[in-house]
Chains A and B, each alone.
Chain A
């Protein structure tokens, strides 16, 4: 298995533009998580899905952020419009069963909004 695949690895965009981050989880994993890494808060959970259904989006900072999981092999995190304070590394992780198994993280997308 190629692991969790995220794209793009790096994204530089101008303030106000729409940004879409993509994630392909490990096949067979039924949980998918989006995290954001910042200096202030470390790894911050934004949203997670179980069997493609969003379970908890309480970590999504505001309405500019949205996430979808149209099928078991693909998820997107969209920011519209983007702002400089959104600059961070965004990680996607998947897990077979959240309680007893570790998460497998993707390589992350480093987003810079100028």
Chain B
């Protein structure tokens, strides 16, 4: 099993703060790196799928970067809002299946 590590485990920020999380994954045999947003009592929703070293993806105030050589990805949220509160999961493609990290739980206070 190829481990995916995420940090921090949890994060509390004030509305308007910008924040970022880290996902580290095995750099060998890389296929793709996925980011998901998971709100409480809902199901995970795909944010980004990144496949190339140097990839940068953006959706509104959320963006992500990828470094496949060193095995890490960053997720950035600019100007956090209370509705951004969720667990952010990253997952590494290993053959046909995704191996998920345990997530970063973000709480944004108004």
Interface residues of A (CB under 8 A from B): 31, 33, 35, 41-43, 45, 48, 50, 55-56, 91, 98-108
Contact = CB atoms under 8 A, between A and B. Distances in A.
A55 B96 contact: yes
B97 A45 contact: yes
Interface string B87-104: 001000100111111110
Q: State the main secondary structure of chain B at its contact with A.
A: strand
B46 A42 contact: no
Contacts of B102: 41-42
A41 B1 CA distance: 13
Contact of B96 (A41, A99, A102, A106): A99
Given A35-B100, A99-B31, A104-B46, 6 more contacts: A42-B100, A45-B98, A99-B51, A100-B32, A105-B45, A107-B42
B96 A43 contact: no
Q: Which of the listed residues A45, A50, A100, A103 has the most CB atoms from chain B within 10 Å of its own CB?
A: A103
A50 B96 contact: yes
Given A42-B103, A108-B43, A102 B93 contact: no
A103 B46 contact: yes
Given A45-B97, A56-B97, A100 B43 contact: no
B43 A102 contact: no
A104 B96 CA distance: 15
Interface string B71-92: 0000000000000000001000
